Amino acid sequence: MNPKVIVYKKVDKKVLDFIGENCEIVYFEGLDSGNYSQFLSELRDADGIMGSGLKIDQDLLEQAPNLKIVCNASVGYDNLDVQALTERGIMATNTPKVLNETVADTVMGLILSTARRMPELDHWVKSGHWKSNLEEKWFGVDVHHKVLGIIGMGGIGSAVAKRAHFGFGMDIIYHNRSINIEAEQAFGATYYSIDDLLAKSDFVCLMTPLTPQTEKMIGKREFARMKDTAIFINSSRGKTVDEEALIDALQTGEILAAGLDVYVDEPIKLDNPLLNMKNVVTLPHIGSATYETRFDMAMLAATNLVVALQGEAPPTLLNSVVK
């Protein structure tokens, strides 16, 4: 009998067909209050699940006694309690690398649109305000040849550094827990302590995973260390930043502007002050959201699922203690 899997995210038909060659699929295009109890009932005898964003913790695993693999269709896996999965002998996988270039494009878009105030000026033009030569008060700041500080020089951080260095002549400085020799050799990136990076950067770009160590890693103290002309970019997770401190830093002019793809609450609440700030560009967590890349991510997640249920090691296994 084929293993039973639940796919709880909308994916391309080709991905479903690939899984369906080897597994019996229960498919939800998304989970909501209307179908969650049905999802839980299907989970009781499911061998594998694939999707993104769903919090998978002890409580949920209690209801999945047959589960062998959890496949995140995302590179971030802060929604998974990996320790609880490992203790139960359940494999966990994510989708690294296939999205690096696309997320880096989004980050460059945030850098450019924030520095050059593109969304603000787009709105200004479309609402009929362009009646004479542009006044100086609408000018932005340069991106090229500035200093870009990347906190989290991993797969995506390196793809951002490549664009910024070769495309825009930017000086790249970075902070990780460990040295990234490849980035130093490829883009002339220089390692800085976090405090020195914050003080020297014109653009501070946060690209770490969300972990207990990175939660609120950028807060009041860190914003105070940035230049008052600094532009802060966050495309990691909302909770890596103390959002109240960010709002305060923007309101008091401690930093110039921010470009954001991620927030503490997603979707962002309509009364969040960030939504009323002209110097903030807000995207709805679209880092990897292109047709091609979302397809590649879903196909990688599906490959992990199928390969693991055939008894082989999935290509991007997170908890290698489990075979």
Strands of the chain (E only): list them. Answer: 4-7, 24-27, 48-51, 69-72, 91-93, 147-151, 171-175, 190-191, 203-206, 231-234, 257-260, 280-282
DSSP class of residue 167?
I
Is residue 175 part of the annotated active site? The answer reads no
Q: Note if 129 is an active site residue.
A: no
**What is the rounded distance in angstroms from the CA atom of residue 140 to the CA atom of residue 188?**
27
Determine, following the binding rule CB under 6 A, whether residue 234 of this chain makes contact with ligand O=CC(=O)O: no
| Member of 48, 259, 287, 314 binding ligand O=CC(=O)O (CB under 6 A) | 287
Could you tell me the smallest distance in angstroms from the CB atom of residue 268 to ligand NDP? Answer: 13
150-179 residues near ligand NDP, rule: CB under 6 A: 152-157, 175-178
User: What is the nearest approach in angstroms of ligand NDP to the Cβ of residue 305?
Assistant: 20
User: Please, what is the minimum distance in Å from the beta carbon of residue 322 to ligand NDP?
Assistant: 20
The footprint of ligand O=CC(=O)O on this chain (CB under 6 A) covers a number of residues equal to: 6
| β-strand partners of 70 | 49, 92
Among 3, 48, 51, 287, binds ligand NDP (CB under 6 A): 287
- Catalytic annotation present for 285: yes
Residues 82-101 that bind ligand NDP (CB under 6 A): 96, 99
- 268 is a contact residue toward ligand NDP (CB under 6 A): no
- State the minimum distance, in angstroms, from the CB of residue 206 to ligand O=CC(=O)O: 13
Q: Give the closest residue to 199 by CA, choosing from 178, 228, 179.
A: 228
Could you say which residues in the range 50-89 bind ligand O=CC(=O)O, by CB under 6 A? 74-76
- C-alpha angle 172-174-176 in degrees, rounded to nearest 5: 160
Q: Does residue 201 touch ligand O=CC(=O)O according to CB under 6 A?
A: no
Q: How far is the CB of 241 from ligand O=CC(=O)O (least distance, A)?
A: 15
> Among the options 237, 243, 254, 294, which is catalytic?
237
Q: Which does 96 bind (CB under 5 to 8 A by kind): ligand NDP, ligand O=CC(=O)O, none?
A: ligand NDP
Binding of ligand NDP by 15 (CB under 6 A): no
According to DSSP, the β-strands at 171-175 and 48-51 are unpaired
Task: For residue 258, give Cα distances in angstroms to 102, 229, 297.
Answer: 20, 11, 28
Q: Tell me which residue of 285, 279, 223 sits closest to 254, measured CA to CA.
A: 223
Select from 91, 46, 97 the least CA-distant residue to 71: 91
Which token pair is 241?
Answer: 């930043």
Cα(286)–Cα(269) distance, rounded to whole angstroms?
17
Q: Which of 204, 207, 246, 255 binds ligand NDP (CB under 6 A)?
A: 207
Cα–Cα separations (whole angstroms), residue 54 to 30, 72, 76: 10, 9, 12
Closer residue to ligand NDP, CB minimum distance, 50 or 80: 80
**Given phi > 0 = left and psi -120 to 50 = alpha, else beta, which region is 71?**
beta
Nearer to ligand NDP among residue 212 and residue 311 (C-beta): 212
Two tokens at 226? 């940035």
Give Rg (Cα) of the chain.
22
Q: Is 288 in the site for ligand O=CC(=O)O (CB under 6 A)?
A: yes
| Contact footprint for ligand O=CC(=O)O (CB under 6 A) | 74-76, 99, 287-288
- Residues identified as active-site: 237, 266, 285
| Contact footprint for ligand NDP (CB under 6 A) | 75-76, 96, 99, 103, 152-157, 175-178, 207-211, 213-214, 235-237, 261-262, 285, 287-288
